[in-house]
Amino acid sequence: MGADTPRRTGGRPTAQAAVRLETTILDQATKAFLAQGYAATTIEATARACGVAKRTIYARWSGKPALFRAVLEQLMARWMSAAGEWGGGESLEAALRAAADAILAVALTPEAIALHRLIIAESGRFPELPLMLQQAGASEGMARIVALLDHAIARGDLPPIDTAVAAEQFLHLLLVGPQRRAMGLGRPFDRQAIILWRDNAIKLFLSGIGALRLLTSAEWC
């Protein structure tokens, strides 16, 4: 008999029980992937940690790639919900500041840093991981920046530019330094340093965006 057989003694599980079980499995899988990496995490170990049989996981996800994608989707949904709505009615600088605060608040969490480390470390062996991350919703943050820039162009605050390229450059300018330090590549920023970094990144971005010719998406790709 499987490890999860007792769960079925009263008949089929209720919808609520099924959702709880799925959440438990995803939470355990998240811990395993972020702590051990993609390669070292197994369906078997995840099932044991949850007290269920392997078939319980395979009945919901076809294998480790599908389980990892579900973990990514849950993380992205949680992070985007935590980020809330970003303003678009105020000045572009104020809108970018609100967006930057929301992005940094998520990107510097231990879970986000662990996921960033996993993708960097294992994408060479598993080149599908970055694509899975994008498909799970990682591009939503950039899409929101694009919307802010498009809005600024529409009201005449910016010259016409390729906003997809500009948004990607803004995110790199904002995130790379704090993320690298959070990963141990330098002394981690305290709150005051993060605010200073944010403000300088926004000023550099706004100072350069109107003066430089940005590559278009076609040139970039």
| Strand, coil or helix: 194 | helix
pLDDT, tens only, 55-108: 999 999 999 999 999 999 999 988 888 777 776 557 899 999 999 999 999 999
| Strand, coil or helix: 42 | coil
Q: Would you give per-residue pLDDT tens digits along the chain (221 residues)?
A: 444 544 444 556 688 888 899 999 999 999 999 999 999 999 999 999 999 999 999 999 999 999 999 999 999 988 888 777 776 557 899 999 999 999 999 999 999 999 999 999 999 999 999 999 988 878 888 899 999 999 999 988 888 889 999 999 999 999 999 999 999 988 989 999 999 999 999 999 998 886 655 555 565 55
pTM above 0.85, yes or no: no
Q: What is the pLDDT of residue 3?
A: 46
pLDDT, tens only, 33-43: 999 999 999 99
Q: What is the pLDDT of residue 217?
A: 55
Cα within 13 Å of Cα(203), Cβ side: 6
Nearest Cα residue to 117 out of 31, 186, 182? 182
Spatial neighbors of 7 by CB under 8 A, at least 6 apart, are 13, 17, 21, 52
Structural domains of the chain in order of their starting residue, each with its CATH number: 5-60 (1.10.10), 83-220 (1.10.357.10)
Q: What is the pLDDT of residue 81?
A: 83
Q: What is the pLDDT of residue 5?
A: 45
